[in-house]
Structure 1
Amino acid sequence: MTVHHPQTPQFFLTSPSACPYLPGQAERKVFTHLVGERAPALLDLLSQGGFRRSQNIAYRPACERCRACVSVRILVDEFSPGKSMRRILAKNSDLVGRMSTPSPTSEQYSLFHNYIDHRHARGGMAEMSVLDYAMMVEDSQVDTRLIEYRRKGPDSRFTTTSDGELLAVALSDVMADGMSMVYSFFDPDEDQRSLGTYMILDHIERTRRMGLSYLYLGYWVEGSKKMDYKIRFQPQEHLSPKGWERYQG
């Protein structure tokens, strides 16, 4: 009989399902639960092996015939934005980002629902209710932060009460060696702002100010247009069978 120590994580394998990134491929994931006092340390360890977090679950791809998903992290101390990224920062200089403990609101959910309807109407999140959204935000036993990006009010330097319209939200974890962007969404009517890129740039700076080394961006899939944006943030490391290696693309 196999006996599992209560402090030892148990891993499980999902059934095959359609891959959301590569047509004709099937995906499987290996996952474990992040619970109790050891959850932060376990997430730190698993992130080194390419795992990601969703609520209280850590997972990574375990596909039988495909290894296209590659874990990516940005080297924040070496990163310097290029000309186009500096333009995006300037275009969003009228925004202020407030970091806090995760707390869902109806305003966030309205923005989330609008984003999903415009960008991922056929995806798995299209049917998420207010309760589902609240669980996504709150169900974490690690150090998770929520950042709201709003138009600056006249007194934004001195108080949060004068901040204006909510344009974007990021849910991110703080780990021992870096930040990990878990999920982000934004106003789809503000395409000209490139808010997705802006939030990554803002996270790079936040990670640097915290004295941490990496910003984890999840998985990059070569050939997937959904993932192309991640490769623009250089320098970065990719997780290979030999460990984390500097990307030489």
Structure 2
Amino acid sequence: MNFANPLVPGKLIQRYKRFLADVLISGGVTVTASCPNTGSMLGLTTPGSTVWLSENDSPTRKYRHTWEMIEHDLGSGPHLVGINTGRPNALVAEAIGSGTMPELAGYASLRREVKYGENSRIDLLLENAPDPRPCYVEVKNVHLMREAGLAEFPDCKTERGAKHLRELSAMVAAGHRAVMIFLVQRGDAERFKLASDIDPMYAAAFQTALAAGVEMLCYRCRMSPTGISVESRIDIVELS
């Protein structure tokens, strides 16, 4: 996924009201950017951090800039971290199409945001493979890292996330295939684990879904101010 234009660098002043951030960009100009992330963004909101914004001059947009990435340093130098939770579905769809995710290869069609379950929408629905079962794919954005190399999810309590795991389990019980993909928008991730201390209920739901037959995958991304791409699969600690 390439950005239409290179991202705009700046310095984070503050994130506030959850979905807004003030950023100082070149020329000493302060702009208010939308923050497309519902989580706590634990460790990624330090004032003075270098951030990267996309820009859209559409007259219908309230905020011209969108916060896309932040530089985060756990001791080995700064790494770009993608915080825009609107990106992963498209990134995974692109990776499936390019063959980067062989576990999901061979399907003839891919549909997004298809209604299913308890008044929900599945992120991606794959159909018409040699396996006649449709494949329900849920995607979660991962950006939390408290220990170098170890990505974690979630960064706050998420009943909605637990609900998604229950619904995927129900799809398996109905005879379908279900896959949860944790997409790490940072290139310094070597392994992935659940942040059980942050949300033990989600961790329990994960183990229940795993036992029910939901497939769990984790991939990391290659990040740059010009684009993002899915790079390679990494191990999930709970499955090692």
Higher share in strand: 2
TM-score scaled by length of structure 2: 0.27
Going by fraction, where is helix more abundant, 1 or 2? 1
Q: Which has the higher contact order (CA 8 A, sep 6+)?
A: 1
* TM-score of the superposed pair, with normalisation by structure 1: 0.26
